[in-house]
Amino acid sequence: MTSHAASKPWSTILFDLDGTITDSAPGILHRLARTLEILGHPVPPPSELVKFVGPPILDGFRAVADMDAAGAQDALVVYRGLAASDGPQADSVVYDGALDLLRSLHAAGVPIAITTSKSEVQAVRILQHLGVDGLFATITGSSEDETRSAKADVVEEALVRLRAAGVDLSNTVLVGDRHHDIEGAAVHGIPTIMVEWGYGSPAEAAGAIDSVSTMQQLAALLL
């Protein structure tokens, strides 16, 4: 673990979902491959498909699958339909210790929230399936039309909701696994703790105040 003097106690903790709490890549990659096959596009190898996990999915369709804006919107409709038919269990594999940590933070009275570029509807379904949706002060994700999908925009919406609920945002931190998390949080002056078990490369941790390799290390920084 690389530590850069994180500031505690945190008043509010924002969590990314995919690659931070849930190991959803297998379900996402399978769904992406099916989407591309349905639309008659070549299916890239998993090493390329994994680039979809983390950033807004429309960006992935444009950058990884080389689609234009209209094609990416068509792919989004197919992908969301597959996600609905697969159900929340497809993306609900949880990293060891993640739910225990969330429950401990909630029990300690620390407000926690989800900020994910995944569809908010899907994120809520997943967390309901896991039985932990009630732990969060807000579950904020991308809008169904993806007009809110960039991490900075998702974080902004979460902060609006939290502020309206009277949550103390004076010392907020975000926990994530990709450079998109770090950059999106930084727009709002929020530091990021990077988890190494997710989908980002070590180089993506640049700009994080801490990088942790185990759930125990993360718990020590947050509790």
Question: Average pLDDT of the chain?
Answer: 92
Q: Does the pLDDT value for residue 2 go beyond 50?
A: no
- DSSP conformational letter for 209: S
User: What DSSP assignment string belongs to 4-66?
Assistant: ----SS-SEEEE--BTTTB--HHHHHHHHHHHHHHTT-----HHHHGGGSSS-HHHHHHHTS-
Q: Tell me yes or no: is domain 2-23+92-222 CATH 3.40.50.300.
A: no
Predicted structure pTM score: 0.91
Residue 16 annotated among the catalytic residues of the structure: yes
How confident is the model at residue 4, as a pLDDT? 45
Catalytic residue (one of 16, 153, 181, 210): 16
User: Taking the domains of the chain in order of start, what are their residue ranges?
Assistant: 2-23+92-222, 25-90
Q: For 67-113, write each residue's pLDDT tens digit.
A: 998 999 999 999 999 998 999 998 889 999 999 999 999 999 999 99
Q: Residue 121: what pLDDT? A: 94
Residue with tokens 């103390």: 168
For 168-210, how does the pLDDT look when each residue is reduced to its tens digit (9 = 90+)? 999 999 999 999 999 999 999 999 999 999 999 999 999 999 9
